[in-house]
């Protein structure tokens, strides 16, 4: 239940979105100069429901208007997951029985991503554990993205009959050496070192120092020095040694061409390439085709246009038979 009158600094604002009157799935509040969004659905790895997104969509405009709020912090109560994505069970159930609700939910999801992109105050996501799907969508377009030691990024949608959405194809299209295409098609996870090198996160800070960041922002400490002083370079990532092979294989103009190139790999990358071929074979062929084309087109789109294309494609996917 939301306290609509709590706009001022230091006010406590709580949004209860538990499904059965239980503890809130998302907690929204303010402490002096900082506002807070805390995902609190650990039993579902903080998968976002429509109600959770709606709570965020209501809160950010208030904070934009509130002169006392300097920054917003988005985090999780779980060290296993920041957010594992959208609630797939919810959307698949609606796709089968309540198609209009499913379409409305998708529109609200992408509208929230754009709202966060347009939010003009510092937005700091404190990410420890898994960030996938919608969890990437609610963090990637904030001004600062902080990765803890357990950070893992993935966009695994081709495995469930969908495609990387929430505007992430726009980011994939701008990664060097076809790494974005590799991540989009395979859905393979990466750690914080690779994410930092690719620009998916801006800082790497031990999770036990996240409390210092929250306190500093509540005291209106300037965000960049606050984070820069605590950043620790994570070193080279797991992808570093694979970059030449990824560039060779995933720069092809078709999915079939990518698979052929993978099968032709020899030497040190041959075992890796064979594993990728097996991974791709287990994914939806339709999703692979859609994803490949979507990332290609996103090279010439801005984020807003990419989100519009996300919506159109997602609505078509709801009508298909691969979604599960």
What is the predicted pLDDT for the residue at 322?
64
In this prediction, residue 84 has a pLDDT band, given cuts at 50, 70 and 90, of very high
Q: Give a yes or no: residue 6 inside a domain.
A: no
pTM (predicted TM-score): 0.92
Where is 28: in which H helix or E strand? strand 26-31
Segment 175-222, tens digit of pLDDT: 999 999 999 999 999 999 999 999 999 999 999 999 999 999 999 999
3-state helix, strand, coil in the chain (%, to 5): 50, 15, 35
In this prediction, residue 323 has a pLDDT band, given cuts at 50, 70 and 90, of low
What mean pLDDT comes out for the span 18-28? 71
What is the predicted pLDDT for the residue at 12?
47
What is the domain range of residue 139? 26-319
Q: Give a yes or no: residue 13 inside a domain.
A: no
What mean pLDDT comes out for the span 98-121? 94
Q: Which residue would you say has higher pLDDT here, 263 or 100?
A: 263
Segment 270-301, tens digit of pLDDT: 999 999 999 999 999 999 999 999 999 999 99
Burial 36-58 (b: 16+ CB within 10 A, else e): bbbbbbbebbbbbbbbbbbbbee
User: Closest by alpha carbon to 216, among 96, 73, 4?
Assistant: 73
What mean pLDDT comes out for the span 93-98? 75
CATH number at residue 147: 3.90.226.10
CA distance 56 to 39: 10
Q: Give me the chain's average pLDDT, please.
A: 92
Q: Give a yes or no: residue 51 inside a domain.
A: yes
Q: Give a yes or no: residue 229 inside a domain.
A: yes
In this prediction, residue 321 has a pLDDT band, given cuts at 50, 70 and 90, of low
What is the predicted pLDDT for the residue at 8?
39
CA distance 235 to 176: 18
Q: Judge contact between 120 and 83, C-beta under 8 A.
A: no
Segment 221-276, tens digit of pLDDT: 999 999 999 999 999 999 999 999 999 999 999 999 999 999 999 999 999 999 99
Q: Judge contact between 162 and 110, C-beta under 8 A.
A: no
State yes or no: pLDDT of 23 exceeds 70. Answer: no
The tally of CA atoms less than 13 A away on the side-chain side of residue 246 is 19
Q: Give a yes or no: residue 76 inside a domain.
A: yes
Domain count, the chain: 1
Q: Give a yes or no: residue 212 inside a domain.
A: yes
In this prediction, residue 9 has a pLDDT band, given cuts at 50, 70 and 90, of very low
What is the predicted pLDDT for the residue at 96?
73
Q: Which two tokens stand for residue 75?
A: 């985090």
Q: Give a yes or no: residue 251 inside a domain.
A: yes
CA distance 295 to 301: 10
* Residue 217: burial class (beta carbons within 10 Å; 0-12, 13-18, 19+): buried
Q: Give a yes or no: residue 65 inside a domain.
A: yes
Q: Judge contact between 279 and 154, C-beta under 8 A.
A: no
CA dihedral 238, 241, 245, 246 (to 10 degrees): 30
């Amino acid at each position: 239940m939301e306290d609509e009158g709590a706009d001022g600094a230091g006010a406590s604002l709580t949004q209860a979105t538990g499904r059965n009157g239980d503890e809130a799935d998302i907690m929204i509040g303010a402490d002096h100069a900082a506002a807070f969004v805390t995902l609190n659905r650990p039993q579902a790895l903080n998968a976002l429901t429509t109600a959770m997104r709606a709570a965020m969509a209501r809160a950010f405009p208030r904070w934009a208007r509130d002169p006392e709020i300097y920054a917003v912090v988005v985090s999780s109560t779980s060290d296993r997951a920041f957010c594992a994505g959208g609630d797939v069970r919810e959307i698949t159930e609606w796709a089968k029985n309540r198609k209009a609700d499913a379409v409305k939910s998708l529109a609200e999801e992408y509208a929230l991503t754009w709202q966060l992109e347009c939010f003009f105050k510092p937005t700091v996501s404190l990410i420890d554990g898994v960030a996938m799907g919608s969890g990437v969508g609610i963090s990637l377009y904030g001004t600062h993205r902080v990765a803890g030691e357990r950070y893992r990024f993935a966009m695994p949608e081709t495995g469930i009959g969908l495609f990387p959405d929430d505007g992430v194809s726009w980011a994939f299209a701008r990664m060097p050496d076809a790494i974005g295409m590799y991540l989009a098609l395979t859905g393979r996870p990466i750690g914080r070192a690779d994410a930092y090198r690719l620009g998916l996160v801006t800082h790497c800070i031990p999770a036990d120092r996240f409390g210092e960041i929250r306190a500093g922002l509540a005291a209106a400490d300037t965000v960049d020095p606050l984070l820069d002083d605590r950043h620790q370079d994570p070193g080279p990532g797991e992808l570093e040694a694979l970059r030449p092979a990824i560039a060779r294989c995933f720069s092809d103009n078709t999915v079939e061409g990518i698979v052929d190139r993978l099968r032709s790999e020899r030497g040190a990358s041959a075992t890796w390439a064979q594993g990728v071929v097996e991974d791709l074979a287990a994914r939806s062929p339709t999703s692979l085709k859609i994803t490949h084309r979507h990332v290609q087109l996103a090279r010439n789109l801005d984020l807003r246009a990419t989100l519009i294309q996300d919506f159109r494609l997602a609505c078509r996917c709801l009508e298909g038979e691969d979604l599960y």
